Amino acid sequence: MTLVQQFRTVTWLVRDTFRQSLAHGIFWVLAIVSVVCITLCASVTVNAPAALADPGENADFLPRNDPDARDRERAAKSGVTIVEGTMTLGFGAIELPVARDARRAVHFLQLLLACGVADTCGLLLALVWTAGFLPSFLDGRNIAVLLAKPASRWLLACGKFVGVLGFVLAHAVFFVGGTWLALGLKTGIWDAIYLWSVPLLLVHFAIFFSFSMLLAVSTRSTVICIFGSIVFWLVCWGMNFGRHAVLAESYPPAESRFSGRAVALLEAGYWTLPKPADLGIVLYDALEAADSFTQNGVFQIVKDHGDFHPWCSLAASLAFMFVLLAASSRQFATLDY
Amino acid sequence: MRDAVAHFVHVSKRYPAGLLRRPILALDNVTLRVPSGEIVGLVGPNRAGKSTLVKLLLTICRPTAGQITRLGRPWRDRGTLAGVGYIHESQSLPRHLTAWGLLEYYGAVSGLPGRTVRQRATKLLDRVGLADRDREPIARYSKGMVQRLALAQALLNEPELLVFDEPTEGMDLVARRMVFDALIEQRRQGRSALLVSHALADVEFLCDRVAVLREGRLVFFGPTPELTAGDGVSLERAVEPLYHREEELVGV
């Protein structure tokens, strides 16, 4: 097949995936989750100054509950602002005090949506809901005719993988873009950093969906794909966190209670497997979350000692994904139906 | 024109089966050729290896031993699959697609240009009687309609070789007639077909040659009249002894 024919094949596999998701209702389930979050963002109002200080300047402010904040006159003379704004949710149903200014309040909401809703719950649910796509596509009765077409098997497998990624990308764009737009329109605060969560969430999903793909071509079982990918995510998270926890306990190395062999074994496991916790740290840093949330102590210690290498971690996770994709394509290409 | 569109030379296939993955011999040293411009019928009892032979021809599985050529090229050359149309024995078409969408999709995977696919799809859907329901999801189709759509997708690339594996099983008379017409038209155009069927009357009516498989071995291959004309019996009567082992026939 020529390059153009291969491109058309992949395009149709992507379209087929979208139609499959529409027919199975998964498209609408994810869309409803996004619409709920977008509606929540559209219900937000913030009654507070946009920012307490100009970019690059440090703001002097006091929380309203601070004892020094009672003497307003003194605070005003000192050029200290007392934070008094509020944020309402649910079209005014819930009123919350703002910790600083409107920009920080909106940023806080965006962090909850990106790190809480999308990166953990959303990712695992997307893995579960899309786990059936490949086994159903690879079922012998469904795929026999496609296998008798000139398109190579690796193209069919990778095309379907791209299709599922396209499906997740569309929903990530809808979720992140929709909540960003809703918050922006309602509050006038357009924090573009939040948009970084789209590519990072997609990379995170792609890495773990590649394992689901290997299970799908090996077993053609939706149940195994669902449980296998969740268990694999948990194992990787455990290995990732375990490595950081052991390192955090091992500073200085001379006083470490872990043997050198155990640490080496953990290092090998850490660098071999995908690193979901590291991807979370990358997202945390990309969204500049440090101003709103305190990072897990273990992660902070490892970062402070220079043992966290975001680019190497990301590259190693992506390398693992490509190895799994190659193994899946190889397995599928040599499979007898 | 090439003299054979499909050629199997000493082909064997073993499958691992069961929990212990013990190899089972599905095809044993089969040598067979499908001549150009002819319809070859492939018959035999259940588990004779008919579908395995078809799958080997279409690269759905790989031979353990032997050589296979398809449209003059080795079986590994997937490019030649562009000249093959196939109906699977228990085909399940994607229920979420429409008939029109399915033909566009399969046309793209076959490497056909979009315009060609649309032109042919219009004619084919009309021919199989689905033109008025081509935008409905396949999930709403009856079994007969799905089978007619399967026929349309097999003819989409105007194949040099048609491979039909039990195409008329469970079909109504109209759909069956469509399959017959497709095969007759194929031969009229100087093209070929391989028809796997348990319906021996259909094979006798349509096929120029017949191949009989039993337990993975080819026990007869030749012109259909060679089996039937001698005694003036039907193909069903003529192949019956070939379906049984010699030792089973002793008591008959």
Query: Which residues on chain A are in Cβ contact (under 8 Å) with B94?
Result: 16, 19-20, 142
Which residue in A275, A267, A278, A320 sits closest to A303, CA to CA? A278
The pLDDT value recorded for residue A80 is: 72
The pLDDT value recorded for residue A300 is: 86
Mean pLDDT of B182-188: 92
Measure A209 CA to nearest chain B CA, in Å: 22
| Cβ–Cβ gap A149/B114 under 8 Å | no
Query: Which residues on chain A are in Cβ contact (under 8 Å) with B108?
Result: 5, 8-9, 11-12
Mean pLDDT of B17-34: 88
For chains A and B, count residue pairs whose Cβ atoms are closer than 8 Å: 91
Mean pLDDT of B22-32: 91
Query: Which residues on chain A are in Cβ contact (under 8 Å) with B101?
Result: 19
What ipTM, to 2 d.p.?
A: 0.87
Which among B61, B96, B104 is the nearest to A337, CB-wise? Answer: B61
Query: Which residues on chain B are in Cβ contact (under 8 Å) with A22?
Result: 96
| Cβ–Cβ gap B111/A151 under 8 Å | yes
Q: Which residues, including other chains, have CB under 8 Å from residue A158's CB and lie 6 or more apart?
A: A10, A325, A329
**Which DSSP letter does residue A122 get?**
I
Q: Is the dihedral of CA A233, A238, A243, A244 positive or negative?
A: positive
Whether the predicted pLDDT of B185 surpasses 80: yes
| Cβ–Cβ gap A149/B81 under 8 Å | yes
pTM over 0.90: no
Does any CB of chain B come closer than 8 Å to the CB of residue A142? yes
How much of chain A exceeds pLDDT 90, in percent?
Answer: 53
The pLDDT value recorded for residue A52 is: 66
pLDDT digit string, tens, across residues B80-110: 999 999 998 877 888 889 999 999 999 999 9
Whether the predicted pLDDT of B12 surpasses 90: yes
| Cβ–Cβ gap A20/B88 under 8 Å | no
DSSP for B53-92, written as a single string: HHHHHTTSS--SEEEEEETTEETT-GGGGGGEEEE-TT--
Does any CB of chain B come closer than 8 Å to the CB of residue A3? no
Whether the predicted pLDDT of A323 surpasses 60: yes
Distance (Å) of CA A288 to CA A45, A195, A275, B118, B162: 22, 12, 20, 51, 61
Does any CB of chain B come closer than 8 Å to the CB of residue A151? yes
| Cβ–Cβ gap B61/A24 under 8 Å | no
| pLDDT bucket at B175, cuts 50 / 70 / 90 | confident
Whether the predicted pLDDT of A89 surpasses 70: yes
Whether the predicted pLDDT of A194 surpasses 90: yes
| pLDDT bucket at A254, cuts 50 / 70 / 90 | low
Mean pLDDT of A290-312: 85
The pLDDT value recorded for residue B92 is: 82
Using CA atoms, how far apart are residues A137 and B81, in angstroms rounded to an integer? 20
Q: Where are any strands of DSSP class E within chain A?
A: 45-47, 61-62, 81-82, 86-89, 94-97
| Cβ–Cβ gap A145/B88 under 8 Å | yes
**Which region among A5-14, B118-127, B137-146 has the lowest average model confidence (pLDDT)?**
B137-146
| Cβ–Cβ gap B90/A336 under 8 Å | no
**Which region among A90-104, A176-190, B110-124 has the lowest average model confidence (pLDDT)?**
A90-104
CB A15 within 8 A of CB B105: yes
Most A-contacting residue of B88, B109, B136 (CB-CB within 10 A), to test interface: B109
Whether the predicted pLDDT of B63 surpasses 90: yes
Does any CB of chain B come closer than 8 Å to the CB of residue A2? yes
DSSP for A19-38, written as a single string: HHHHHHTHHHHHHHHHHHHH
The pLDDT value recorded for residue B249 is: 47
| Cβ–Cβ gap A12/B104 under 8 Å | yes
* Residues B59, B63, B68: CA angle, nearest 5 degrees: 70
Helix (H, G, I), strand (E, B) or coil at B6: strand
Measure B82 CA to nearest chain A CA, in Å: 6
Which amino acid is residue A325, in one-letter code? L
Measure B143 CA to nearest chain A CA, in Å: 15
The pLDDT value recorded for residue A162 is: 95
Mean pLDDT in chain B? 87
How much of chain B exceeds pLDDT 70, in percent?
Answer: 91
Taking phi over 0 as left and psi of -120 to 50 as alpha, with beta for the rest, A284 belongs to: alpha
How much of chain A exceeds pLDDT 70, in percent?
Answer: 95
Mean pLDDT of A48-59: 69
| Cβ–Cβ gap A144/B105 under 8 Å | no
Shortest CA distance from A21: residue in chain B: B96
Query: Which residues on chain A are in Cβ contact (under 8 Å) with B84?
Result: 148
| Residue A195 buriedness (CB in 10 A; 0-12 / 13-18 / 19+) | middle
Mean pLDDT of A216-230: 92
**Which region among A205-219, A250-264, A312-326, B234-248 has the lowest average model confidence (pLDDT)?**
B234-248
Shortest CA distance from B91: residue in chain A: A141
Which among B108, B137, B150 is the nearest to A12, CB-wise? Answer: B108
Whether the predicted pLDDT of A312 surpasses 80: yes
Shortest CA distance from B137: residue in chain A: A23
Q: How many helices (H) and strands (E) does chain B have?
A: 9, 10
Mean pLDDT in chain A? 88
Shortest CA distance from A18: residue in chain B: B96
Using CA atoms, how far apart are residues A193 and A191, in angstroms rounded to an integer? 6
| Cβ–Cβ gap A20/B105 under 8 Å | no
Shortest CA distance from B156: residue in chain A: A149
